[in-house]
Amino acid sequence: MAKIHPSSSSSLCSPLISSKREVFTIWMKSLVLNGYGCTVYDSQGLVVYRMDNYDCKSSHEVFFMDTAGNTLFKILKKKLGVFGQWRGYRSGDGLKEEEEEKKPWFTARKAFRVLKRSGGSWGITAMVGSGRDDHACFKIDASNDNKGYKIRNFAGELLAEVKRKETASGVVLGEDVLNLIIEPNSDQLLIMGLVVVCGLTSHSM
């Protein structure tokens, strides 16, 4: 399994990639009393990541951390156009804050689409760095029924899927408990960033 507890600034900059499919549980609750955010558990039930939003839901600035409280990345919302743009910035890259914000790790925008059968859906397009090739561009598709969404690259390859968590007996848990399934050889930290953007966009964290 890929390392999920970075211990140095250099590891914070490196993608967390596993050769196996990984399954995480996302609880859309903060561990901080009266806070907002989410808590991420691995397949063994251990807390591996957390996002705390001390202000309000869908804040314009949030921080994603490991269990020790080290910030792995932050996400800022910028007012550009009707829906704005989310920008992710990795920590530990040695950049000063003003320089960091000039070079986002990824950018993401929300887009709406109308479907004949389901009545509607929403999606997100994201680009890493310059976004000039398929491996740096991503699409997130979700329906309005909040049953989950899938993350793909622009070549159509499935990278991750988020859906309601079920017990071994098939009982579907509450809307605030989700399964995150990440396919092999995917950048887990980037996927986590896109999942956070989805939560902020849908006002669920």
pLDDT in tens, 70-83: 999 999 988 766 66
Do 54 and 38 form a contact (C-beta atoms < 8 A)?
no
- The CATH code of the domain at 20-201 is 2.40.160.200
User: Domain locations in the chain?
Assistant: 20-201
Rounded to whole angstroms, the Cα distance separating 155 from 150 reads: 14
What does the pLDDT look like over 114-159, one tens digit per residue? Answer: 554 545 567 888 999 866 666 689 999 876 666 689 999 888 899 9
What's the rounded mean pLDDT across residues 21-50? 88
pTM: 0.81
Exposure on the CB side of residue 21, measured as CA atoms within 13 A:
9
Q: Is 157 left (phi over 0), alpha (psi -120 to 50) or beta?
A: beta
Token output for 42: 């691995």
What's the rounded mean pLDDT across residues 80-104? 71
27 or 52, greater pLDDT:
27
Of 70, 67, 110, 69, which is closest to residue 90 (Cα–Cα)?
Answer: 70
Q: What is the pLDDT of residue 97?
A: 60
Q: What is the pLDDT of residue 95?
A: 53
